Amino acid sequence: MKQPLAKELIAMACQPDCPVGRAAQVIEGKWTTLVVRELLAGPRRFGQLLTALDGISPKVLTERLRLLEGRGLVHKEIYPVVPPHTEYSLTDKGMGLLVVIKAMAEFGATL
């Protein structure tokens, strides 16, 4: 990391409304970033997400989806059919996390 960028990030961290802190609150927890990763590929149904995210419980997945929806990152579409069909997709704001997930993937590949 370039030294000026590191100094800029440290200066931001001292502010009461630190952008890094706000971003960390949005993507908190292990499952949140993994849910976003799955939705980057396109709309998914709840069952598809549950299958793709090995080890996540239905309760935690529901909580993460509600959290992301509440923050305007995920859109929930309910189709009026029997049985009900629900799809989750990233909003434009949610798609902004692509660069974050990509950076995490690149960093993870070096470990």
Tens digits of residue pLDDT in 38-53:
999 999 999 999 999 9
Share of the chain above pLDDT 90, in %: 67
Q: For the whole model, what pTM was predicted? A: 0.81
Q: Where are the domains of the chain?
A: 20-109
Pick the range with the lowest mean pLDDT from 21-25, 71-75, 95-99: 21-25
Return the higher-pLDDT residue of 83 and 66: 66
For the chain, the DSSP string reads --HHHHHHHHHHHTSTT-HHHHHHHHT-SHHHHHHHHHHTTS-EEHHHHHHHSTT--HHHHHHHHHHHHHTTSEEEEEE-SSS-EEEEEE-HHHHTTHHHHHHHHHHHHT-
Is a pLDDT exceeding 50 seen at residue 1?
Answer: no
- Domain 20-109 carries which CATH code? 1.10.10.10
Return the higher-pLDDT residue of 108 and 16: 108
